[in-house]
Amino acid sequence: MVNKSIDCVFCENKSVCFNELTPQELSEINKNKVEISYKKDETIIKQNSFASNIFFIKKGLVKIYLESKDRDLIIEIGGKSKMLGLTSLNHTKYYKFSVVAIEDVVLCQINIEIINKIMLTNQYFNNQVISNLNTTIEKILNKLFCISHKQLQGRLADALICFSDEIYNNNKFTLGVSRKDLADITNMATENVVRILKEFNDKKIIKLAGKNIEIINYVELKKLSS
């Protein structure tokens, strides 16, 4: 759904990326962007489709994941200020991942050509993009390490800490994803997610009521994670 979008110049939700743009550059982006709303469960990016746009999330959460025949792997849960599609900059024609809204989402879509053009003229913006790519690399390496070196308890502890510290910014939250999604985040069987959540609940590390989770013993969770 296309929104009546506000002018980028006055937008309150701008990423730090856009902070140092000149009024002309902002206006150029404004002319070449569309704001779109997605309902929960709608697909935003489909893996292997042509990559011609960069997405900038203004509101809501998305899951970014790799699709395969048997099983998905969720790379990241992204929220406000997350940029999607930078990995296709100057490089690959296709998106290498899928993105689906796990809440109602509002985002701005900007043509990749415009982004490229502004990177040429604005060095601050260029640096921000590179910074963004490097953060992505760090996050994926972290995930690679987590999945390859930690056991189930540690992986799930990591995921819970991430939801608390980075996604909901609250030790008490209502999980926006299913047990199956938690399994795709931590690369384990759904049944084991259920079992380990229960185990954490029994050990009074978390307080569990369906999708409502409260982290009670953060220290213990951190210990499990390492």
What are the residues binding a copy of itself (CB under 8 A)?
66, 68, 70-71, 73, 75, 87-92, 96-97, 119-120, 123, 126-127, 129-131, 133-138, 140-141, 143-145, 147-149, 187
The side-by-side arrangement of strands in the sheet containing 33-38 is 33-38, 105-111, 53-59, 83-84
Closer by beta carbon to DNA, 172 or else 180: 180
Q: Does 210 bind DNA (CB under 7 A)?
A: yes
Q: Which residues pair with 64 in a beta bridge?
A: 76, 99
Q: Does 31 bind DNA (CB under 7 A)?
A: no
Please state the closest distance from residue 89 (CB atom) to a copy of itself, in A: 6
Closer by beta carbon to a copy of itself, 152 or else 208: 152
Please state the closest distance from residue 75 (CB atom) to a copy of itself, in A: 7
For residue 81, count other CB atoms closer than 10 A to its CB. Answer: 13
Q: Which residue has the tokens 């991430």?
A: 162
DSSP 192: H
Closer by beta carbon to a copy of itself, 7 or else 67: 67
Residue 117 structure tokens: 């053009």
Contact 203, 220 (CB under 8 A): yes
Q: Among 152, 161, 162, 216, indicate the residue that binds DNA (CB under 7 A).
A: 152
Partner interacting with residue 190 (select from DNA, a copy of itself, none; CB below 5-8 Å by kind): DNA
SS3 108: strand
Please state the closest distance from residue 187 (CB atom) to a copy of itself, in A: 4
Q: Does 212 bind DNA (CB under 7 A)?
A: no
Residues 172-191 that bind DNA (CB under 7 A): 178-180, 187-191
Please state the closest distance from residue 212 (CB atom) to DNA, in A: 10
Residue 124 structure tokens: 């601050």
Q: Where are the alpha helices (DSSP H) in the chain?
A: 23-31, 112-121, 123-149, 152-162, 179-186, 190-202, 218-225
For residue 124, count other CB atoms closer than 10 A to its CB. Answer: 13
Q: Does 207 bind DNA (CB under 7 A)?
A: no
Taking CA atoms, 32 is separated from 107, 111, 123, in Å, by 14, 7, 20
Which residues lie near DNA (CB under 7 A)?
151-153, 178-180, 187-192, 194-195, 197-198, 210-211
